[in-house]
Amino acid sequence: MSEEVKKEERSLNFLEEIIEEDLKSGKYKSIVTRFPPEPNGYLHMGHATSICLNFGLSKKYGGYTNLRFDDTNPTTEEIEYVESIKGDIRWLGFEWKNEHYASDYFDQLYEYAITLIKKGLAYVDDSSSEEIAAMKGTPTEPGKNSPYRDRNAEVNLNLFERMKSGEFPDGTHTLRAKIDMAHTNMLMRDPVLYRIKHAHHHQTGDKWCIYPMYDFAHGQSDSIEQVTHSICTLEFVPHRELYDWLIENLEIYPSHQYEFARRNLSYTVMSKRKLLQLVTENHVAGWDDPRMPTISGLRRRGYTPESIREFCDRIGIAKRENLTDVGLLEFCIREHLNKIALRRMVVFDPLKIVITNYTDAEEMVESENNPEDPNGGARQIPFSNELYIEQEDFMENPPKKFFRLAPGKMVRLKSAYIIQCNEVIKDAAGNITELRCTYIPESRSHNDTSGITVKGTLHWVSVKHAVTAEVRLYDRLFNVEDPSGEEGDFKDYINPGSLQVVKAAYAEPSLKHAKFEERYQFLRKGYFTLDKDSSASGMVFNRTVTLKDSWKPVTGKG
Ligand code: ATP
Ligand code: MG
């Protein structure tokens, strides 16, 4: 089945239905979406969902997507994060039309605040945050009006101007919308629009000491950019009323907010705050540690953008929160790597074999780079009389269905010959140090006239031609499905065996020229990619994913 057909078959998600209706009714000619990250951490797989959704929709329906940094909270923001976010979006294969910062709109937002004050819809409150909280009421009881609520517009304008000019210390005044302290939606009980914060900002420097709250920045920024469909996650459902109230009372472009469920993945955590803890407390080696669910971590691990887009496409979007099986993500990367990975042989735990009847000093045998790719070509691999196979591929006293090597038994060495084990050599302590074997000269792969059939095929490398490399094997970072949902601290559930290092694996010599952009399948071992820790003195490979898993795709619509 072609990709196109598969996509056609997927039914429209609820956002696509809304957009198609809006286009049909002529409400919009084309659509504008935005991706609005707060630059306070690296992007993770949850963000990838949002990116694929926002950019995917504008691509599908004609229109564009803006990248807008939600940088209204100056203390947590860093340039490093801005750069990593841009790099991650581009790597995923998307390009934004305009790059904006909510801070670009600070002047405009200040003007909007003045409009509200003049309309009698906002006031300066001298209450402390504790006093404001105490007057807020509860979901079942109305709140109390602030004693400053009925200041007239002139007083408010004067105080707000002085807040801006830096006359007051942090926490002494706020600007609040004047809505209804008995409103059933707590967020509508005179929400704070501006707070004083004497802090340096990465874009605006020291120009401002008052900063707009999320609710006063987000919808207004959408409106300034004429975003048609502003998509966010479900926790913003209660904010929609305020979003609409502000747009309506400011009489500005009517953007609309739509919500979908946050994407959670099993066996990991996906909040920047928690991911930051893993980094700062050294549970992982950084934001791009290959065990992290960050885009940079997955990239380093060897994931491809295609596999992540496919994953997001398959899971679609939901209206209710759930936990997505990380097995589906692994399924998607396996599917892609199977098509593109170069096959190579690498022995992790070597057992030496000597082929006693092999008299040629050495020869080259040919092996295909990728049986899934007809244009993949082949490579030459040196074969000699001293080879390494895996320890686990030999048993001195094998059970019945062991089709690998054992005394007197035959196996095929991949792309080379059939060999037979004749003798087991041990050291004084009884450890096996070497196997003496013979090969069947007529059994050479591609030209086998031996008539012998064997059930097992082993990967191998020639001892004197092998290159060594470090191999890092990753497992899930947590040993429970939902570490955030468990009792106690989520870090109590970190899997202590999430990283296993093979210091010296023996690789066929073609891997000497391994490239960062290539993907490899180490036969029978999994999919691997070169890690950035590689240097002239040694290669390091990351295992992206094992070859097989029990996870099966659910048939039907995702
Ligand atoms: P975090 O809690 O990890 O900091 P956030 O929602 O605060 O997440 P933002 O940088 O504010 O992160 O989010 C940028 C965009 O990505 C928002 O539109 C947000 O809704 C979306 N997003 C973030 N996490 C997820 C997720 N797990 N699933 C889907 N969308 C997400
Ligand atoms: Mg946030």
Strands (E) located in 451-525: 457-458, 461-462, 467-474, 499-507, 520-522
Label residue 86 left, alpha or beta by phi (over 0 means left) and psi (-120 to 50 means alpha): alpha
- How confident is residue 144, by pLDDT bands cut at 50, 70 and 90? very high
Label residue 378 left, alpha or beta by phi (over 0 means left) and psi (-120 to 50 means alpha): beta
Whether pLDDT at 167 is above 50: yes
Q: How far is the CA of 462 from the centre of ligand 2 (A)?
A: 53
Q: What is the CATH code of the structural domain delimited by 346-459?
A: 2.40.240.10
- How confident is residue 11, by pLDDT bands cut at 50, 70 and 90? confident
Q: Is 420 in the pocket of ligand 1 (CB under 6 A)?
A: no
Number of residues that this document lists for the chain: 558
| 61 against 78, higher pLDDT | 61
Q: Which residues neighbour 7 within 8 Å (Cβ) at sequence distance 6 or greater?
A: 313
pLDDT (average), residues 275-291: 97
Residue spans of the domains in the chain: they are 13-101+218-326, 105-215, 346-459, 469-545
CA 259 to chain centroid, in Å, comes to 21
Alpha-carbon distance 354 to 345, whole Å? 18
Q: Which of 288, 304, 329 is nearest to 519 (CA)?
A: 304
What is 105-215's CATH superfamily? Glutamyl-tRNA Synthetase; Domain 3 (3.90.800.10)
Alpha-carbon distance 2 to 120, whole Å? 60
Q: Which residues neighbour 400 within 8 Å (Cβ) at sequence distance 6 or greater?
A: none
Ligand number, closest to the Cα atom of 44:
1
Residue 285's DSSP bridge partners are: none
Q: CATH classification of 13-101+218-326 is 2.120.10.30, yes or no?
A: no
Q: What is the pLDDT of residues 306-345, one digit of tens each?
A: 999 999 999 988 888 889 999 999 999 999 999 999 999 9
Q: What is the pLDDT of residues 241-258, one digit of tens each?
A: 999 999 999 999 999 999
Instruction: Give the H/E segment covering residue 124.
Output: strand 122-125
From 13, 35, 42, 47, mutation site for ligand 1 pocket: most ligand atoms within 8 A of C-beta: 47
Alpha-carbon distance 220 to 217, whole Å? 5
pLDDT (average), residues 80-103: 96
End-to-end CA distance of the chain: 17
Whether pLDDT at 226 is above 60: yes
What is the model's pLDDT at position 73? 83
Answer yes or no: 154 catalytic. no
Instruction: Please report the DSSP string for 381-419 in residue order.
Output: EEEESEEEEEGGGB-SS--TT--SB-TT-EEEETTS-EE
Percentage with pLDDT > 90 across the chain: 91
Q: How far is the CA of 218 from the centre of ligand 2 (A)?
A: 12
Q: Could you tell me if 479 and 498 are in contact, meaning their C-beta atoms sit under 8 angstroms apart?
A: no
From 77, 233, 278, mutation site for ligand 1 pocket: most ligand atoms within 8 A of C-beta: 233
* Nearest atom, ligand 1, residue 36 CA: 14
| Environment of ion ligand 2 (residues, CB < 5 A) | 38
Ligand number, closest to the Cα atom of 85:
1
Q: Is 36 in the pocket of ligand 1 (CB under 6 A)?
A: yes
Whether pLDDT at 557 is above 70: no
Q: How far is the CA of 142 from the centre of ligand 2 (A)?
A: 29
Residue recorded with tokens 């609005």: 36
Q: Could you tell me if 295 and 275 are in contact, meaning their C-beta atoms sit under 8 angstroms apart?
A: no
Alpha-carbon distance 278 to 283, whole Å? 5
pLDDT (average), residues 34-46: 96
CA 43 to chain centroid, in Å, comes to 7
* Nearest atom, ligand 1, residue 273 CA: 4
From 13, 45, 50, 266, mutation site for ligand 1 pocket: most ligand atoms within 8 A of C-beta: 50
Q: What is the pLDDT of residues 434-480, one digit of tens each?
A: 999 999 999 999 999 999 999 999 999 999 999 999 999 999 999 99
Strands (E) located in 266-326: 322-324
Whether pLDDT at 238 is above 90: yes
HEC string of 288-302?
CCCCCCEHHHHHHHC
Whether pLDDT at 8 is above 70: no
For the chain, how long is the longest CA-to-CA vector? 102
Alpha-carbon distance 304 to 332, whole Å? 10
**Mean pLDDT in the chain?**
94
Alpha-carbon distance 146 to 444, whole Å? 90
Ligand number, closest to the Cα atom of 39:
1
What is the model's pLDDT at position 321? 86
What is the model's pLDDT at position 153? 97
What is the model's pLDDT at position 550? 60
**105-215 and 469-545 have identical folds:** no
Q: Is 47 in the pocket of ligand 1 (CB under 6 A)?
A: yes
Q: What is the pLDDT of residues 491-535, one digit of tens each?
A: 999 999 999 999 999 999 999 999 999 999 999 999 999 999 999
Whether pLDDT at 46 is above 60: yes
Q: Which of 51, 34, 49, 62 is nearest to 230 (CA)?
A: 34
pLDDT (average), residues 270-292: 96
Q: Is 271 in the pocket of ligand 1 (CB under 6 A)?
A: yes
What is the model's pLDDT at position 351? 98
Whether pLDDT at 7 is above 60: no
pLDDT (average), residues 44-57: 97
pLDDT (average), residues 395-424: 97
Q: Is 38 in the pocket of ligand 1 (CB under 6 A)?
A: yes
Q: How far is the CA of 271 from the centre of ligand 1 (A)?
A: 8
Give me the catalytic one of 262, 352, 414, 524.
Answer: 262
Answer yes or no: 38 catalytic. yes
Q: What is the CATH code of the structural domain delimited by 469-545?
A: 2.40.240.10
pLDDT (average), residues 94-109: 97
Q: Is 39 in the pocket of ligand 1 (CB under 6 A)?
A: no
Whether pLDDT at 558 is above 50: no
Answer yes or no: 262 catalytic. yes
Strands (E) located in 404-514: 410-413, 418-426, 432-439, 457-458, 461-462, 467-474, 499-507
Whether pLDDT at 364 is above 70: yes
Whether pLDDT at 366 is above 90: yes
